[in-house]
C-alpha cells in the first residue's frame, strides 16, 4: 500500500469515527513559525505564559514524535443553525463551541479510535494525538493538510464549512501522501476586522489577545480592568463576532455535531442564576463543559460585567446581593455594574455596602461607582 492509498484509508477512518473532514500534512518546520515568534515577541499572547514555552516543538512538530513524518488532521463542525439560537440573556453570550459537550474529551475519544485502527492495520506505528492542549500550531498543520486557509481573523476558513469547526491532529511516523493546501478565501473582505468591537484584529491575520473578548472572559484571572469591561458587552464566555461577520459563515453547508447543542439541564440558566451559582451547583451543572476553563470565579465575574453592560434595572437586586459575597473580585465587579445601571436603588445598595467592605480594591470599586452615580445625578 503506497502513501496515497494510506492517506485515503486514514481519512476515511477519521470520518467513520465521527469527524466531518480529514486531511494529511507532511511534518516539517511550521510554515508560519516566524509569524508566531513575532506574535509572542509583541506580547499579543497577553498573559498566556504557556504559549511562551516549548517553542522548538511548536516551530517543528517533528520534535514531538521522533521519526514523525505525517500528520492526520481532523475537523469537527460545531455550529448549530441560526434557527436554534438559544433564548434568554446568558447563552447568546457564550461562544457556540462551548454550549454543549467539551470538545477536548469528545475529539480525544474519536482520535484514539482512529489511532487504534491504525495500530491494528500498521503494527508498530508510533503516534501522538493532540486536541488544543499540546505545543502544536494546529492551524498551521491543518492549513498544510488542506482543511482550510487562514483567514484575516486568524481562524481557519473553509469554503463550505466557514470557520465553525474545531481541530485535532494525530502525528504519525507513517509516510503518507499530503493533501494540497487551500487558496486564500478572504480576498479583499475585511468584515471580521470591522466587526471586532475591541480592536483585537488591528490588521489582517493578526490577533492581539490583550484586546480580545475571548481572552478576557476565558483566560484572564482576577479583576477585569475597568476600561475593558464596557467592551465585553454581553459576552460571558468567548466571542463569535468575527466569525459571525464572515460571509463564509452566512450559511455553512456542513452539518453540526449534535453534542455541541445546548443541553436542557443548562438551558434554563440565566445571568442571575450564574451570578448566584454556588460551587456544588457549578460542579454538577458544568460537568463535561468547556466553560469550566473560566472557573466559577471567572464566570460569576463575567455575569456581573454583562449585567452592567446590559443596564437592565431588574439586575439591581441580584447585584446588590453580590456585594456581600465572599469573593472580593465579584463584589468589586458587582459594584461597577450597579454604577453602570444607576438609579436610587443601586445607589442605596452601594452606600449600604461601603462601610462594611474590607477589601481595598472592592471598596475602591464601590466609591468609584458612587462617584459615577453622583456625577450622573442618579
- Which candidate in 60, 89, 102, 132 is catalytic? 132
Task: Name the nearest CA neighbour of 217 among 193, 234, 205.
Answer: 234
Per-residue burial over 289-303, b = 16 or more CB atoms within 10 Å of its CB, e = otherwise:
bbbbbbebebbbbbb
- Is the pLDDT at 365 greater than 60? The verdict is yes
- The proportion of the chain whose per-residue pLDDT surpasses 70, expressed as a percent, equals 97
Task: Name the nearest CA neighbour of 333 among 369, 375, 282.
Answer: 369
- Comparing 249-263, 306-320, 335-349, the range with the smallest average pLDDT is 249-263
Please indicate whether residue 89 is annotated as part of the active site: no
Give the end-to-end CA distance of the chain in Å, rounded to a whole number: 77
- Comparing 51-55, 191-195, 253-257, 319-323, the range with the smallest average pLDDT is 253-257
Q: How sure is the predictor about 84, in pLDDT bands with cuts at 50, 70 and 90?
A: low
The pLDDT value recorded for residue 81 is 57
Alpha-carbon distance 343 to 172, whole Å?
62
Q: What is the pLDDT of residues 254-271, one digit of tens each?
A: 667 778 888 988 999 999
- Comparing 71-80, 91-100, 269-278, 329-338, the range with the smallest average pLDDT is 71-80
224 Cβ contact list (under 8 Å, min separation 6): 216, 232, 301, 305, 333
- The proportion of the chain whose per-residue pLDDT surpasses 90, expressed as a percent, equals 86
C-alpha angle 31/96/44, rounded to 5°?
40
- Comparing 59-63, 76-80, 368-372, the range with the smallest average pLDDT is 76-80
The pLDDT value recorded for residue 317 is 98
Q: What is the largest CA-CA distance in the chain?
A: 79
Mean pLDDT of 59-86: 85
Mean pLDDT of 108-129: 96
Q: Give the chain's length.
A: 378
Rounded to the nearest 10 degrees, what angle do helices 344-353 and 360-376 cross at? Answer: 150
Q: What is the pLDDT of residues 23-42, one digit of tens each?
A: 999 999 999 899 999 999 99
Q: Which residue has the higher pLDDT, 134 or 253?
A: 134
CA distances from 123 to 100, 114, 126, 173, 257 (A): 36, 14, 9, 12, 31
Mean pLDDT of 361-375: 95
9 Cβ contact list (under 8 Å, min separation 6): 1, 121
Q: How sure is the predictor about 82, in pLDDT bands with cuts at 50, 70 and 90?
A: low
Question: Which residue intervals of 228-270 are DSSP H helices?
Answer: 241-244, 264-267
The pLDDT value recorded for residue 68 is 96
User: Phi and psi for 149 in degrees, rounded to 5?
Assistant: -120, 140
What's 162's DSSP letter? B
Average model confidence (pLDDT) across the chain: 94
Residue tagged 459594584 (cell numbers)? 335
- Is the pLDDT at 276 greater than 70? The verdict is yes
Task: Give 41: exposed, middle or buried? Use CB within 10 Å, 0-12, 13-18, 19+.
Answer: exposed
CA distances from 218 to 21, 137, 214, 297 (A): 28, 20, 6, 11
Mean pLDDT of 125-139: 94
Amino acid at each position: 500500500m503506497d502513501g496515497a492509498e494510506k492517506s485515503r484509508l486514514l481519512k476515511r477512518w477519521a470520518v467513520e469515527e465521527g469527524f466531518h473532514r480529514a486531511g494529511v500534512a507532511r511534518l516539517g518546520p511550521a510554515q508560519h513559525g516566524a509569524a508566531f515568534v513575532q506574535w509572542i515577541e509583541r506580547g499579543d499572547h497577553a498573559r498566556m505564559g504557556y504559549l511562551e514555552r516549548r517553542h522548538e516543538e511548536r516551530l517543528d512538530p517533528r520534535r514531538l514524535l521522533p521519526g514523525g513524518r505525517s500528520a492526520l488532521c481532523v475537523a469537527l463542525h460545531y455550529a448549530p443553525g441560526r434557527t436554534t439560537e438559544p433564548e434568554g440573556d446568558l447563552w447568546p453570550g457564550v461562544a457556540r463551541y462551548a454550549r454543549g459537550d467539551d470538545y477536548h474529551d469528545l475529539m480525544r475519544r474519536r482520535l484514539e479510535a482512529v489511532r487504534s485502527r491504525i495500530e491494528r492495520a500498521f503494527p508498530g506505528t508510533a503516534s501522538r494525538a493532540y486536541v488544543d492542549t499540546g505545543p502544536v500550531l494546529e492551524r498551521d498543520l491543518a492549513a498544510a493538510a488542506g482543511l482550510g486557509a487562514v483567514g484575516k481573523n486568524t481562524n481557519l476558513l473553509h469554503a463550505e464549512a466557514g470557520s465553525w469547526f474545531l481541530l485535532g491532529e494525530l502525528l504519525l511516523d507513517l509516510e503518507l501522501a499530503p493533501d494540497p493546501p487551500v487558496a486564500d478565501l478572504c480576498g479583499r473582505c475585511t468584515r471580521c476586522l470591522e466587526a471586532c468591537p475591541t480592536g483585537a484584529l488591528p490588521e489582517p491575520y493578526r490577533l492581539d489577545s490583550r484586546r480580545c473578548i475571548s481572552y478576557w472572559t476565558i483566560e484572564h484571572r482576577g479583576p477585569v480592568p475597568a476600561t475593558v469591561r464596557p467592551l465585553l458587552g454581553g459576552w460571558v464566555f468567548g466571542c463569535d463576532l468575527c466569525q459571525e461577520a464572515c460571509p463564509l459563515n452566512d450559511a455553512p453547508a456542513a452539518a453540526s455535531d449534535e453534542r455541541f447543542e445546548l443541553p436542557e439541564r443548562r438551558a434554563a440558566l440565566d445571568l442571575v442564576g450564574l451570578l448566584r451559582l454556588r460551587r456544588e451547583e457549578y460542579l454538577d451543572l458544568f460537568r463535561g463543559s468547556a466553560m469550566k476553563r473560566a472557573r466559577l470565579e471567572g464566570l460569576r465575574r463575567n455575569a456581573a460585567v454583562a449585567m452592567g453592560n446590559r443596564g437592565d434595572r431588574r439586575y439591581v437586586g441580584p447585584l446588590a446581593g453580590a456585594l456581600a459575597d465572599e469573593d472580593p473580585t465579584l463584589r468589586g465587579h458587582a459594584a461597577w455594574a450597579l454604577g453602570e445601571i444607576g438609579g436610587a436603588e443601586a445607589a442605596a445598595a452601594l452606600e449600604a455596602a461601603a462601610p462594611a467592605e474590607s477589601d481595598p480594591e472592592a471598596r475602591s470599586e464601590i466609591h468609584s461607582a458612587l462617584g459615577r452615580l453622583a456625577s450622573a445625578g442618579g
